[in-house]
Amino acid sequence: MFVFIEWRAEVQNVQEISQIWKEIYCLIWLWSKSTIENKKTDATTIRHKNEDWAQITQKYNSNCQTGPRNQKQLHALYDILKKEI
């Protein structure tokens, strides 16, 4: 999945830019939703979750212009966004 953004000249508000990056993160997250939200706690499932979080982190950072984020930070954002929904 590739995410492309057309930067608009009128985007000047920091909150608006933050919202754009949240939307990008959600698109990337949807790619592996079935694994991330799996309730199982066996070793195989946890390994798959960690692999998917690593891929999410890599994809987010390859598109992000606000600075790289680590897996822990993106997981925290996931928890926050999940509470908002």
CA 78, 56, 23: angle at the middle one, nearest 5? 55
CA 76 to chain centre: 10
Categorize the per-residue pLDDT at 80 as very low, low, confident or very high, splitting at 50, 70 and 90.
confident
Does 16 have pLDDT greater than 70?
no
pTM for this one? Answer: 0.68
Closest CA to 27 of 4, 51, 54: 4
Q: Read off the pLDDT of residues 52-74 as tens digits, 9 standing for 90 and up.
A: 889 888 888 887 777 888 999 88
